[in-house]
Amino acid sequence: MDVSQVSATELVADLRGGRLSAAQMMQATLDRISAVNGQVNAIVALRDADALMREAEAADQVKERGPLHGLPIAVKDLVNVAGIASTSGSPSLKDFVPEKDDELARRLRAAGAILIGKTNTPEFGLGSHTFNPVYGATCNPYDASRSCGGSSGGAAVALATGMLALADGSDMMGSLRNPAAWNNVYGLRPSWGHVPSEPVGEVFLHQLSTLGPMARSPEDIGLLLDVLSGPDPRHPHGMPSAPVSPVEARDMDGLRIGWLGDWGEAFPTEDGILALCEQALGVFADLGCRVESVPPPFASEEIWESWVNLRSWAVSNSLGPLLEAHEDLKDSAIWEVERGLALTGRQIQRASAIRSDWFRCAAEIFERYDALVLPSAQAWPFDVSQPYPTQINGIGMDTYHRWMQVTVPVSLIGLPALAVPAGFGATGLPMGLQLFGKRGSDAALLSLGAAYHAATQWPQVRPAKSGAMERAKQ
């Protein structure tokens, strides 16, 4: 039984309706993982197969069935899952097996999903390249010598290879959007507060990272978003949210889309990326949208200054205690913690003021445009043995994450962004766009993405060796 390219929406409907048993679904999933995972290393800490089959068989006896009843899901290895090693890719946590679920895992279980293991991530989720000293690197399924991106790299690869139908991820600096682009799938960074973070420690100040869904279509994204979203009374920033599923393609006629390109050459971008993205924008134009080039609306260096300081401040808050305990952290984590600890109150206030100015500026732009568009990445998937790109087009990158600056305008002010596939470059590697809108426009972006997906079906396309495209088996 091959369910590797069947939509999650179709699978859960068959599982709820009894046309597909949870045991059949689990066996098909385990067979697919056995056949594929050894080549890409996307799913880690996989539970015992016999135990998973028993859980699936028990699910078949349950009469009340949730929206994800019987669907196998591996959870990103930054989320604690009871009974499953939850390492965050760090040697300091390699033997940590939580006794209780984080809220995201709890919501998945409550919806009827069967949690089978984890998806690989960089150590503590830092950097957009999925490798760590616990599980090693995850490879790009389109070229195993290349990075799959990150930090939700394992999730994106598991989707692209058909090992999972749905996957969760998280996004501080493009961690849902970059791997979606590099693996030819979809990822949604929700409006900040739409999906609550784990309510532990300080929960008022650090408004940067968010959890979110990944899938092979916007319709499937909506299915998982409804499970993950909704306020948590323990979290002060939760947003009330109406269901977005079923996601339906909207009428695109007359919608205005603004193309920001490389932000007036502020974001160095490897050859071929902008041209491919502009080609993808042509699909929106063909569907009736008015696509216009938009000049840089705000100073890129001010956005970067605000971002890099607020990010280091947030990371030093979470990882500082580990450094103080002399845990062995990777260089980028140490750099972030030391920067964050050295920041002054005046620097934090300035960063927040810049963020506020950019939010107000963006709000004015969205009075004229239904969505804005940027590339999802500035570089093609790079050598899997390389920690991160040190230059783009001969321009040196002054930090380990500067090469992902294109994701920062969205992340800094908590806007929703849907990463959509844009097709393949000359070497057969995928790339994507990020469509973003005003705060709270998540459902509208998914409907926009659904119309684009119906016209392109990129996740079902594979680049042939000749450079032509061929449809994957359905």
Say which residue the tokens 């692209």 belong to. 160
Rounded CA-CA distance 150/122 in Å is 7
Q: What is the dihedral of CA 405, 406, 408, 409, to 10 degrees?
A: 140
Rounded CA-CA distance 107/231 in Å is 12
The catalytically annotated residue of 4, 7, 76, 312 is 76
Longest dimension (CA), the chain: 61
The catalytically annotated residue of 175, 241, 300, 316 is 175
The catalytically annotated residue of 4, 88, 90, 151 is 151
Q: Are strands 430-436 and 210-215 parallel, antiparallel or unpaired?
A: unpaired
Identify whether 151 is a catalytic site residue.
Answer: yes
Identify whether 473 is a catalytic site residue.
Answer: no
Quick one: CA dihedral 196, 378, 41, 113, positive or negative?
A: positive
Rounded CA-CA distance 119/130 in Å is 10
Q: Are strands 43-44 and 114-119 parallel, antiparallel or unpaired?
A: antiparallel
Q: Considering only CA atoms, which of 382, 391, 375 is closest in space to residue 431?
A: 375
Task: Pinpoint the alpha helices (H) of 185-272.
Answer: 218-228
Identify whether 175 is a catalytic site residue.
Answer: yes
The 3-state DSSP composition of the chain as helix, strand, coil percent (nearest 5) reads 40, 15, 45
Q: Considering only CA atoms, which of 289, 316, 313, 305 is closest in space to residue 358?
A: 305
Say how many residues make up the chain.
Answer: 474
Peptide bond into 246 cis (omega under 30): yes
User: What are the residues facing 119 on neighbouring strands?
Assistant: 43, 76
Q: How many CA atoms lie within 13 A of 26 on its CB side?
A: 25
Do the beta carbons of residue 161 and residue 4 sit within 8 Å? yes
The catalytic residue positions are 76, 151, 175
